[in-house]
Structure 1
Amino acid sequence: MRAFREDESRRNAPLTAENATRVREAMRGISFAGTPPHWAELIAENNWMDRLHGVGQSSSRS
C-alpha cells in the first residue's frame, strides 16, 4: 500500500518549469497519423487548451 501511495504522490506532483519545458519540447515533434479517435471529440478543443494552459501555470509556480 505504501508503494501505491508513493506512486500516486509522484504522479500528482506538479512538474517543475524545467521539466514542463522538456515535455513540451519532446511532444513538439510528435504527430498522429490518420483520423482522431472517437474519444478525442468528447471534449471541445478550447476546453483542452484551457486545461493545458492551467497545467503550464501550475508548474510555473513550483
Structure 2
Amino acid sequence: MSSHRLRLLVVAAALVGVSACGGSSDTGNKDDESRSGGAFPLTVEHALGKTTIPAKPERVA
C-alpha cells in the first residue's frame, strides 16, 4: 500500500472517529418536557389494553 493511500485511510478513520464522538445540540427529551407540566392522569396504550397513571410517580422501585 502506498504511503499516500495509507495517509488517506488514516485521515478518513480519524474523521469517522471524531464525528462519531460528537454530541447533538439537543440536550433534553421533548416528551419528558411536555409531560412534566401536569399532564396527569396519563393513559398508556399497550398490547394488553390501557393503563392509567393517576399522578406523577414519586419513586420507581
For the criterion TM > 0.5, the same-fold answer is no
TM-score of Structure 1 vs Structure 2, range by shorter chain: under 0.3
Greater gyration radius: 2
TM norm structure 2: 0.21
Higher strand share goes to which structure? Answer: 2
Query: Quick check: which one's helix share is greater?
Result: 1
